[in-house]
Structure 1
Amino acid sequence: MANINRILGTFILILGIISSFPNLAFSGTKKEVIYFKNTDYEVHVFILEGKEPGHTVLIVGGLHGDESGGFLAAEAFTKVDIKKGKLIIIPRANLPAIQLRRRYVNVDMNRRFFLEGSFADSDLYEDKVVAIIKKYIKQSDVVLNLHCGSGFYRPRYINHLENPLRWGQSIIADDDKIYFEDGKKVNLRAIAERVITYLNSVVKDPKYYYHFNNTRTRYPDSIHPEQRVSLSFYSLYGARAIAFGLETSKELPLDYYKAYYHICAIKRFLDLFGIVYTGDPKPLFHPPHLKYLLCSIDGHLTCIRNKDTVGVPYGARFKVEKVIARFGYPSVVDIPDVKGLNDRGKEVIIDSPKRVFVRKDGKVYASINVVPLPKFKEDIGLIIKVNGQKRRVAIGETISITPKDHLYLCDVFGLKEEVKVNLLGFAPPGRHNRGEDRGVLIHPEKAHFIRRYAMFEQGYTVYPINITNEKYLLGTVFLRIRSIR
């Protein structure tokens, strides 16, 4: 267990370094705050702040789970470097709905922003998330609420897809103007029209032109009274922040444009409110690639790659601790018959074969199989020579060396069957890599390692050494090398 905590501590440390980014190659700072960690409704908040003060803009995507353009556009801005002002980004506010690829789960999250009262103690996860979003709304000068709406908003009725009751391709405000207590007047329509002028120069096709949609929400004759409990209305009248709804159309021919037009709109809003940044935000459509799952089996850590089958003792305690993937944020783990939408961190007893799926935004991109085997009569592991001295390292344990040490994988103990020993990431010199690294003298200082298989901690690089038979992964030993660059 101490080894698990140490390895997991490595990831936490690195995530902290990556997400805090203090003065790393750019002038601003970034940090990531995670709420409701290891729950189905985990919320990630990205805070990007420039050295020069300015307005604070909040971008919220994914209130509705079937509107991918919003959360992909919001996610794109988590990669920029802020020079002036501050960005707060909540890309995937409603993670369960996104995983299920539907508008909402229990209640419509964009109908829970009541002006009065707090529902943080509600049994509904939607209300807990709304309470977090409200906290950030109150810290913001400007709020952008991203959606993908049906049809095309038009001020006058044209047909069933183009009329005043549709939402797509519009910039929405709850009124033309807002008057604040200090006497300041903000012309919401004028701001939106400037954004729309720019957007339509990008769109070019009149069929997809944007229009300004004043929902006149607070007026008795409004055709959209339901918006009085929306995020935008709460921002404007509950928190006195300038707020706009941004809508691309679900009828756009490609998903790319649903995100791209949002990005163009956000860029123009940031320009108008004086947010200065570097970087070119683009929607991320790369398919995720699983490097491996970091799993705990009876307290021992094991790295399992996509499509692998791992054999574990019958009745073993199995848990997925971490998903290590390229373009994998935010990945969830799904083990059928286990309650919930995200099974990462949940302990499962393996008394029958299990399939473990890894999903992003509701789509499966990797899976592993876990099968019960008869219990081993004794511990298994590796006999490893370091500078000629033999050491016994059990599965789940770590051996630490320096780059100048000489490493030799001798053999496996505790097993009589034929197995392979594979140091993931190690490319043996002068021969075909057949996944068997016993009998090779390894000089870490000179050896070629493929870093995509590595885990990192401050001053160290960690590579898994997997023990497999013809069918199953049987366990992992970890090689910890100091100061590999």
Structure 2
Amino acid sequence: MIRLFLTFIFAFNILHAENLVRDFALYKLNDGDKRAPTLLLMGGIHGDEPGAYYATDLFMRHYKITKGSVWVVPVVNPHSMFANVRGLYGDMNRKFAALAQNDPDYQSIQKIKKLLANPQIDISMHLHDGSGYWRPTYVNNLLNPLRWGNCSVIDQIELKGAKYGNLESFVIQMVADINEYILHPLHRYFVHNTHTKSKNDTEQLKALTFFSLSLGKPALTNEASKELDIQTRVYYHLLAIESLLGQLGIEFERDFELKPASIKKLISTAHLQAHIEGLITLPLGSLRSPITYFPLPQGVEPKHMKIQSSSHILGLVKNKQGNIELKYGSRTLSTLLPQWSAFDNSLNSVNMKIDDTMQAVRVGSMIYAKESIEFEPINEYRINIIGYVKPNDTSPLPNESGIKVYKKDLMARYSLDTQALIYRAEIYRKDVFSGMITISFDKPPLENSAPYKLIAYKPAPNSPLALAHAHTKITPSVSMPPKAIASKESMPKNKHNESPNKPIIKQNEPRKTLTHFVKPSVGVNVRLKPSTQDSIIAKLPQGAKVEVLEQVGKWSKIAKDSKNGIYQEGYISSYMLSDTLQSASQENTKIIESPPKHTSQKPQDSSIKTPPINAQVKVNIAFVRLEPSLTALIVAKAPLGRKMHILSFEGQNGEWAKIHYIFEGKQGVREINGYIAKHLLNPL
């Protein structure tokens, strides 16, 4: 409620209650190709979530669809994006259940609803940035069920009757594919089923994805964490998109390597240009701010001014002083102090000497010169080179055509850029603006267009699709990031030296199982893969009956009959199971899963293996950290006297204790895994 109130205050005080609603744009990539489904991809319904709209913008600029089709709305809510608020007129993603016709977003919502209902669209995916990191159980203030960052979200397990209605299978696979390429264990993705209808979640019932389900159209969401920088959020969003494309059989190409460093370069403004009303070109790399006396069309609202670019998140916005801000997403690139004028499109090109070579130059374009420029005079038109003053000229309407102008003759403070290398020559027909030639004395940019390459999709090892393909000997022929296209010989093996794609259950062979029961009184997590760092796909209570299919080290691959008779498979630590129900119910000891393996590489001699020993904290508070480093994230605070197990000592001199213990508090039972400085503990 407070956020909504502040949004309206922002709109009224800064934007003078002007209706700034902007229509969103829809682009159709490889439209009409029915060899694979049509995906609707949408970002930016919340204006303060840049990872989402930079991801869709980058997708538009650097991907090609070669089989199937993708319809893209780069930013659903552009007016809120430019204002950098969640919703300029309230949360747009809570307006799909009911909405008054006088709501400023009403027409936008109706248009989105119509788009979602389009019979050509088979499934939709929506991108968001959420706070913290979603976890199924409380870990700390940053990692808990109330956070939304780094998870893939569905409203329910399936949408019955829909061709692509198995929502849970899509996100389970998506999470597995993303986690194959995470940059840090903290970034691990999870499946987040909101159970919107069954839990009667009043907020989620108003959201876009649930509305889509009500139309019989599958919809799912990917969230990236706001704790991450923009390029890393975009990286995880693109991993999610590529996973879904691969699952759907939509083939694609991209022209860059999928990693945050590449993304950072691509979302910068270094090689971007803006074309305004077809008569002005502005390079966006290092614009000066403000730019004075900038020609803009008289009588046209900024939101209706035509601006074209390879980027789809550019716009012109009026500020409270009446000046015009050039926006790239929420970022202001420059403030234009306008010189309002009628615009005239009667002139197509001009002749000019560039370093003494005569050329015909299209009006509204940008040229590169080394030393000098000179415009050929044109009847009825005059040329005003901004930053140049003709000696002894006192005319109110200067005309600098026919004059050879050197870079040294131009005053730096009138340049368009902060390096004083780019200037402008304005063309007028009397007092009517007829166009601009942008002049750069910098070196022309090098060609920055890498070739597009087809990316072959290979599901993450041990993921549902990988196992299914292994069982049926089907090789997928769709798309994914660089690591996924490695050959079988180069693919990593697990700790049992087995290929990740080795089938666990041979096709057509009977399922051999042993019945076991869950022992811990607090229940047990079922994970997608045999690792405590992998996704939790279910939680079983004490005494739950499971069928053990196979032993994988200290893990048991189990199956449990769901209500519809289909096996739900996953992994449980073997010592959490008992072969009799009686011994399971009589279990009194606290049983936990093996502590997580951290993926950060360490020298071979940095870990001193030791049998588990007991210890307790000897100081008032001991910080439990995610990794053995004073700069690592604090995941818990262990008080004086807290007892725990030490599993090993790590660090150069074994100064860190790798620990785990069970904590029971008001929030329930929590498993604590991490590292504590050894000198803060006493052995027991």
TM-score relative to the length of structure 1: 0.62
More strand by share: 1
Determine if the alignment matches structure 1 residue 241 to structure 2 residue 223. no
Q: Which residue of 2 aligns with 1:164?
A: 145
- 2:192 aligns to what? 213
Quote the offset at 1:160 in angstroms. Answer: 2.0
Shift of 1:322: 4.5
Other-structure match for 1:106: 89
Aligned to 2:671: none
Alignment of 1:257-406 (within 5 A): 257-280=232-255, 282=263, 284-287=266-269, 293-294=276-277, 307-310=290-293, 317=298, 319=300, 322=305, 329-337=312-320, 355-370=323-338, 396=344, 398-399=346-347
Pick one of 63, 79, 82 that aligns with 2:65: 82
Other structure's SS at 1:364 match:
strand
- Is 1:40 aligned to residue 21 of structure 2? yes
In structure 1, the residue matched to 2:395 is 417
Q: 1:163 to 1:126 in 2, by over 3 A?
A: same
The equivalent residue for 1:137 is: 116
1:260/1:465 CA distance change after superposition, 3 Å? same
For 2:64 and 2:51, locate their aligned partners in 1 and report how far apart those are by CA, in whole Å. 22
CA contact (8 A) 2:158 2:165 kept: yes
In the other structure, the counterpart of 1:30 is: none
Amino acid at match of 2:225: S
Task: Report the counterpart of residue 60 of structure 1 in structure 2.
Answer: 42
What residue in structure 2 maps to residue 91 of structure 1? 74
1:465 is displaced (CA, Å) by 4.6
Contact 2:156–2:194 (CA under 8 A) maintained in structure 1: yes
Q: 1:160 to 1:86 in 2, by over 3 A?
A: same
CA distance in 2, matches of 1:152, 1:395: 51
Structure 1 pair 243–157 and aligned structure 2 pair: CA distance change class (3 A): same
- Give RMSD over aligned pairs: 4.4
8 Å CA contact 2:273–2:281 kept in 1: the answer is no
Q: Hey, what does 1:200 align to over in structure 2? A: 179
Contact 1:153-1:211 within 8 A present in 2 as well: yes
The verdict on how the C-alpha distance between 1:149 and 1:466 changes in structure 2, with shifts beyond 3 A counting, is same
Task: Please give the per-residue CA displacement for 1:23-80, whole angstroms capped at 9, x wherever unaligned.
Answer: xxxxxxxxxxxxxxx9632211111125641211111111111111111111222232
Q: Verify: 1:250 aligned to 2:226, yes or no.
A: yes
Specify the code of the residue in structure 1 equivalent to 2:147. R
Q: Is the 8 A contact 2:153 2:191 kept in 1?
A: yes
CA distance, structure 1, for counterparts of residue 275 and residue 403 of structure 2: 18
Distance 1:422 1:164, change over 3 A: farther
Q: What is the distance in 2 between the residues matched to 1:179 and 1:60?
A: 23
Distance in 1 (alpha carbons) for counterparts of 2:167 and 2:44: 24
Does the CA contact (< 8 Å) of 2:94 and 2:206 recur in 1?
yes
Q: Tell me how far 1:149 sits from its aligned partner.
A: 0.9
Task: Write the letter of the residue equivalent to 1:193.
Answer: I
Tell me the distance in 2 between the aligned counterparts of 1:328 and 1:427. 36
CA distance in structure 2 between the aligned counterparts of 1:408 and 1:162, rounded to whole angstroms: 66
Give the distance between the partners of 2:51 and 2:343, measured in 1 at CA. 44
Q: In 1, are the aligned partners of 2:51 and 2:233 still within 8 Å (CA)?
A: yes
Q: Secondary structure at the match of 1:44?
A: coil
Cα displacement string for residues 312-343 of structure 1 (whole angstroms, at most 9, x for unaligned residues): 9xxx95656756575664333234458xxxxx
Q: Secondary structure at the match of 1:309?
A: strand
Contact 1:41–1:125 (CA under 8 A) maintained in structure 2: no
Select between 45-54 and 72-81 the one with higher mean Cα deviation: 45-54
Cα gap change, 1:185 to 1:241, in 2 (>3 Å): closer
Q: 1:327 to 1:474 in 2, by over 3 A?
A: farther
User: Contact between 1:356 and 1:368, CA under 8 Å: does it hold in 2?
Assistant: yes
Partners of 1:476 and 1:112 lie apart in 2 by 43
1:421–1:40 CA distance, 2 compared to 1 (3 A): farther
CA gap of 1:208–1:291, structure 2 versus 1, over 3 A, is: closer
Q: Partners in 1 of 2:131 and 2:332 — Cα distance?
A: 27
- Are the aligned partners of 2:350 and 2:376 in contact in 1 as well (CA < 8 Å)? no
Q: Which amino acid aligns with 2:211?
A: Y
2:226 & 2:216 partners in 1: Cα distance?
30
Distance in 2 of aligned mates of 1:226 and 1:479: 50
Q: Which amino acid letter does the alignment assign opposite residue 46 of structure 1?
A: Y
Distance 1:195 1:362 in 2: 29
Offset, 1:365:
1.0
Distance 1:372 1:201 in 2: 54
Is the contact made by 1:58 and 1:142 (CA closer than 8 Å) also made in structure 2?
yes
Whether the aligned pair in 2 keeps the contact of 1:311 and 1:370 (CA below 8 Å) is yes
> Once structures 1 and 2 are overlaid, which stretch shifts more, 67-76 or 127-136?
127-136
Cα separation, partners in 2 of 1:59 and 1:408, compared to 1, 3 Å:
closer
Considering Cα pairs closer than 8 Å and 6+ residues apart, tell me whether 1 or 2 has the greater RCO: 1
Whether contact under 8 Å (2:93, 2:208) holds in the other structure is: yes
Tell me what 1:232 maps to: 209
| Identity fraction in percent | 23
Q: Deviations over 1:316-375 (max 9, x none)?
A: 95656756575664333234458xxxxxxxxxxxxxxx64322222322123334699xx
Q: How many Å separate the matches in 2 of 1:56 and 1:358?
A: 34
1:127 shift after superposition: 2.5
**Conserved 8 A contact 2:274-2:281:** no
CA separation of 1:291 and 1:91: change in aligned 2, threshold 3 A: closer
Are the equivalent residues in 2 in contact too, given 1:294–1:303 (CA < 8 A)? no
User: Per-residue displacement from partner, 1:361-401 (whole Å, max 9, x unpaired)?
Assistant: 2322123334699xxxxxxxxxxxxxxxxxxxx99574567
> Residues 278 and 51 (structure 1 numbering): CA distance in 2 closer, same or farther, change over 3 Å?
farther
Structure 2 alignment gaps of length 5 or more: 1-18, 257-262, 352-357, 361-374, 384-392, 412-421, 438-684
**1:422: how far off?**
5.6
Give 1:206 deviation, angstroms: 1.7
> What SS does the corresponding residue of 1:179 show, helix, strand or coil?
coil
